[in-house]
């Protein structure tokens, strides 16, 4: 259809009429006609900027204005009596011309997007009975000249952005039945003139910024049924007259600062109450027993006050649907405190029962199972309840929220909770619950939050939780859970809020499936026994705000993929075995508030730009190889490799010069003392020590606290040594774990086992047992278990830099007599190996770090990973042995001929030992 063309004359005529209409809007029209109504409507239309539904498309000359959509006229005269354009998505302003619709009785523009101010001209509408402008974006103050609204019965301006005070002229609206100013930005006090509205039935003033007290004049509103003034800043007390308004059915003063106590005769003064809320105020005293006689009550909200004492029976509240009474001081911590709960079994429509954060004591009564089957929320957290969770709770088949947190519940978690098919929130944290987390929780397919932290749950995390597809929060922290993290748990893609597995005894690695948690904001796996490297796909968790991995045994470097976590605010990798350099991309993490990299093995220069300029949010303490960075970190300056090489060369040259002067005489003295001691020493017992039976990987894992870095004693070429305690007999042991990925490590393990199983001497390190198998990831695992040497190695006594700090005590020192005894012990051990064994054994790596000292400072030679048997004098045999484990010995201690000729014999060993002895003086 082609658009109709209009002549210039028609164009001029139409705009002339609109112009007249607009002019009339701002002048008092003494004599109005139906043409005035038409012009006023067109002026109203001109103020509309958006009409997506085309509601005003019919407002043209094709039909009379009384047939325009939303316009209603009187039967006797063609004058506009009602304008109803609610919920039409209109935008624009309310034209002042609306005030010229002098016959208008109803103006309903609610649920649109009108903005700007309410025009003052609207007060001309003396016949108006209904004015509903709610749910718009109107601003400014409420027009003050309201005296003309003598016939107004309904005034609804709620859900706008009105400011200023409530006009006192409202008191002249004697026919007003409903006044709603709900959810605006009104200030000041409630005018006492409202008490003159003798016809008022509903008063809604909630969610403003009103202050002062409730006017006593409101006690004159004898027809008032709904009184809502919640979420303001009201203070004082409730006037007695208001509490005597027997017509009241709904009374809401929540979220204010009102004081006082509940009247003892509340059922007599307010007999028709259906909704009663005083929540979040400053009420004190007891809940009056007469409240049970308010038999029409459907909602009773007493929460967040200072109510105390015994909670009375509510046996007569048969219509009660919601009872919230949390955050008070009710109860005495006694068994009878929850007797009133049994009285609620009469409330057959009860949907929500919330009595948390009080002082209720005793056990959870079994009558809970007899509460209404309509109950959807049961909250008793933060009390003093104890005993077991009754199995009968499964009778509450429509339960959606069950919160028993922060009590003293014990026993096991009933497996039949898995039958509550509508449960979305299960909150049982901070109790004394134990046993295994039942796998039946996987049946709760609507579960969104699972909070079991702070209990004593044991064994593994049930992988059946993967069957809960809507979980967005899991808290299993601070329990005794063990085993590995089920990969399926990391595969719950709905997790968005929290996954907290911290403070347990979990082992293994962080599963690769962690990359599925793309929308997770907080991941906490700290304080466990986890190891391995950080999976590369953790960079897929782009929504992470907090990542806590501290207190584990993770190793490797920080993966480059983590550069994608640019919004992270907290990153804690402390107390692990991470190594390598701290990546520069962390400088660009501008959202970081906490970065904890302390107590790892990071090395190299600390980044100094970006977030590293703020030392208050970053911790790198306990990384001995870090240097540089901001002076605030107090790290040593970085030294170039050439300068460091020259410094080491000078130190070594000086040491050799000094040692050379004493070497010859001291070696002769030691050999003489060794010969003398051999003559007088008692024969060594040939009895074989009883070895422990072979131990499993799991036993050693527990003994060393998951091979924790805090148990790490030292690291060598082929393995790491951990201190441990056997669980069965509490024996303190040293566990040498072989680095099987290193070249020669496996052969070192075989050689050491072959040597130590055939020798016994008081100055040789005693082997207790070995472990040869696989770890929990299926990797080869080999370890040797020795007696633990309380005083560490000779290296630690001679070079204090290599000695871990032990409090603030004095540094370790070994006196001259002790050094002589150590030398004798070592010489005695070597004499045994070279001359008293059935097949002579050459250690090949005598150095201070391989000389261990027990509690009595007796020396024991250890680390036989490079040792060899002297099987005759065949050079071929010796050469074959050498090639099996590579070049033997440590530079600085092995004699030159052993390296040049690639062979060791007793004489080479004695030269090496002389070097060690010289270095100890």
747-754 own/partner pairs: CB under 8 Å, 24+ apart = 747/884, 747/885, 748/717, 748/718, 748/719, 748/865, 748/866, 748/885, 749/718, 749/782, 749/784, 749/865, 751/864, 751/865, 751/866, 751/867, 751/868, 751/885, 752/784, 752/863, 752/864, 752/865, 752/867, 753/784
Residue 88 sits at the vertex; the CA angle it makes with 82 and 93, to the nearest 5 degrees, is 75
C-alpha to C-alpha distance for 607 and 587, rounded to whole angstroms: 7
CB 618 within 8 A of CB 595: yes
φ and ψ of 416, to 5 deg: -75, 0
3-state helix, strand, coil in the chain (%, to 5): 30, 20, 50
Phi, psi of 321 (to 5 degrees): -110, -30
DSSP 237: B
Q: Give the CA angle between residues 795, 636, 572 to the nearest 5°.
A: 90
Are 456 and 481 a contacting pair, CB within 8 Å? no
Q: Is 845 a catalytic residue?
A: yes
Is residue 496 a contact partner of residue 472, using CB atoms and an 8 Å limit? yes
Task: Give, rounded to a whole angstrom, the gap between the first and last alpha carbons of the chain.
Answer: 112
Q: Are the C-beta atoms of residues 759 and 840 closer than 8 Å to each other?
A: no
**What does the alpha-carbon distance between residue 351 and residue 241 come to, in Å, rounded to a whole number?**
33
Rounded to 5 degrees, φ, ψ at 16 are -65, -45
DSSP conformational letter for 170: G
- Ranges assigned E (strand) in 485-624: 498-500, 505-507, 522-524, 531-532, 546-548, 553-556, 570-572, 577-580, 594-596, 601-605, 618-619
**Alpha helices of 681-737 — where are they, by DSSP H?**
697-703
Q: How many CB atoms lie within 10 A of CB 625?
A: 13
Q: Which structure tokens are listed for 193?
A: 């003139």
If you search the block for the tokens 């005529």, which residue do you land on? 13
CB-count burial class (<10 Å; 0-12, 13-18, 19+) for 13: exposed
| Of 305, 380, 322, 317, the residue nearest 345 (C-alpha) | 317
Q: Smallest Cα–Cα separation from 749: which of 738, 758, 765, 741?
A: 738
Which residues neighbour 599 within 8 Å (Cβ) at sequence distance 6 or greater?
Answer: 574, 575, 576, 621, 622, 623, 709
φ/ψ (deg, to 5) at 648 = -65, -40
Active-site residue, from 540, 845, 854, 905: 845
Q: Length of the chain, please?
A: 921
Among all residues, which ones are annotated catalytic?
Answer: 845
């Amino acid at each position: 259809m082609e658009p109709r063309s209009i002549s210039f004359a028609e164009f001029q005529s139409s705009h002339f009429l609109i112009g007249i209409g607009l002019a009339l809007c701002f002048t008092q029209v003494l004599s109005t006609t139906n043409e005035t109504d038409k012009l006023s409507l067109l002026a109203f239309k001109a103020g509309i900027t958006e009409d997506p539904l085309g509601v005003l498309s019919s407002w043209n000359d094709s039909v009379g204005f009384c047939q325009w959509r939303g316009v209603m006229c009187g039967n006797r005269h063609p004058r506009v009596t009602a304008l109803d354009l609610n919920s039409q998505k209109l935008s624009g302003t309310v034209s002042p011309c609306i005030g010229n619709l002098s016959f208008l009785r109803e103006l309903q523009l609610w649920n649109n997007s009108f903005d700007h101010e309410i025009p003052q001209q609207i007060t001309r509408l003396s016949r108006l009975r209904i004015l509903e402008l709610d749910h718009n974006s109107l601003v400014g103050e409420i027009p003050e000249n309201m005296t003309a609204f003598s016939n107004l019965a309904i005034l609804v301006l709620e859900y706008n952005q009105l400011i200023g005070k409530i006009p006192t002229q409202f008191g002249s609206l004697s026919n007003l039945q409903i006044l709603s100013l709900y959810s605006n930005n009104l200030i000041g006090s409630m005018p006492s003139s409202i008490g003159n509205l003798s016809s008022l039935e509903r008063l809604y003033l909630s969610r403003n910024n009103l202050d002062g007290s409730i006017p006593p004049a409101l006690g004159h509103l004898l027809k008032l049924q709904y009184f809502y003034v919640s979420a303001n800043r009201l203070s004082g007390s409730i006037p007695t007259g208001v509490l005597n308004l027997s017509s009241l059915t709904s009374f809401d003063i929540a979220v204010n600062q009102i004081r006082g106590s509940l009247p003892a005769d509340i059922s007599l003064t307010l007999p028709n109450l259906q909704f009663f809320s005083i929540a979040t105020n400053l009420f004190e005293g007891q809940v009056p027993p007469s409240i049970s006689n308010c038999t029409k009550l459907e909602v009773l909200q007493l929460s967040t006050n200072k109510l105390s004492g015994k909670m009375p029976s509510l046996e007569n509240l048969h219509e009660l649907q919601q009872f919230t009474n949390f955050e008070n001081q009710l109860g005495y911590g006694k068994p009878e405190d929850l007797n009133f709960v049994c009285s609620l079994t009469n409330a057959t429509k009860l949907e929500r029962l919330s009595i948390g954060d009080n002082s209720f004591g005793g056990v959870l009564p079994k009558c809970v199972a007899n509460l209404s089957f309509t109950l959807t929320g049961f909250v008793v957290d933060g009390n003093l309840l104890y005993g077991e969770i009754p199995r009968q709770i499964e009778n509450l088949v429509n339960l959606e929220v069950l919160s028993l947190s922060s009590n003293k519940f014990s026993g096991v978690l009933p497996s039949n909770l898995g039958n509550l098919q509508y449960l979305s929130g299960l909150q049982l944290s901070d109790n004394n619950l134990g046993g295994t987390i039942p796998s039946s929780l996987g049946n709760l397919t609507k579960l969104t939050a699972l909070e079991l932290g702070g209990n004593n749950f044991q064994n593994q995390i049930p992988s059946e939780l993967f069957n809960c597809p809507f979980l967005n929060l899991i808290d299993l922290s601070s329990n005794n859970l063990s085993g590995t993290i089920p990969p399926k748990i990391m595969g719950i893609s709905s997790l968005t809020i929290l996954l907290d597995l911290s403070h347990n005894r979990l082992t293994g690695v962080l599963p690769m499936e962690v990359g599925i948690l793309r929308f997770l904001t907080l991941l906490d796996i700290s304080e466990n026994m986890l190891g391995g490297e950080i999976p590369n796909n953790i960079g897929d968790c782009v929504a992470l705000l907090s990542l806590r991995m501290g207190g584990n045994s993770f190793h490797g470097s920080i993966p480059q993929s983590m550069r994608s976590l640019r919004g992270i605010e907290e990153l804690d990798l402390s107390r692990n075995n991470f190594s390598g350099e701290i990546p520069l991309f962390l400088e660009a993490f501008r959202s970081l508030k906490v970065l904890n990299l302390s107590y790892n093995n990071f090395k190299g220069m600390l980044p100094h730009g970006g977030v590293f300029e703020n030392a208050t949010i970053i911790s790198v303490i306990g990384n001995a190889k870090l240097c540089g960075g901001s002076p605030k970190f107090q790290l040593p300056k970085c030294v170039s490799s050439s300068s460091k090489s020259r410094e080491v060369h000078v130190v070594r040259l000086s040491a050799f010069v000094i040692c050379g002067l004493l070497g010859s005489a001291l070696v002769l003295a030691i050999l003489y003392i060794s010969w003398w001691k051999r003559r007088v020493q008692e024969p060594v017992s040939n009895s074989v020590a009883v070895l422990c039976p072979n131990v499993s990987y799991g036993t050693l894992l527990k003994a060393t606290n998951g091979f924790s870095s805090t148990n790490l004693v030292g690291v060598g070429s082929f393995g790491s040594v951990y201190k441990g305690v056997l669980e069965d007999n509490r024996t303190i042991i040293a566990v040498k774990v072989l680095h099987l990925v290193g070249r020669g490590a496996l052969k070192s393990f075989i050689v050491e086992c072959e040597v130590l199983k055939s020798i016994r001497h008081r100055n040789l390190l005693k082997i207790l047992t070995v472990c040869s198998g696989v770890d929990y990831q299926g990797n080869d695992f080999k370890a040797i278990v020795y007696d633990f040497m309380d005083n560490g190695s000779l290296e630690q006594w001679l070079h204090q830099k290599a000695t871990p700090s032990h409090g603030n005590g004095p540094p370790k020192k070994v006196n001259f007599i002790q050094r002589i005894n150590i030398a004798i012990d070592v010489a005695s051990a070597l004499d045994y190996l070279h001359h008293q064994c059935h097949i002579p054994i050459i250690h090949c790596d005598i150095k201070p770090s391989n000389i261990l000292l027990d509690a009595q400072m007796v020396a024991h030679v250890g680390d036989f990973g490079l040792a060899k048997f002297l099987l005759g004098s065949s050079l071929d045999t010796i050469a074959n042995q050498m090639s099996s484990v590579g070049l033997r010995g440590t530079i600085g201690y092995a004699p030159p001929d052993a390296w040049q000729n690639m062979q060791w014999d007793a004489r080479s060993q004695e030269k090496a030992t002389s070097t060690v002895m010289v270095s100890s003086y």
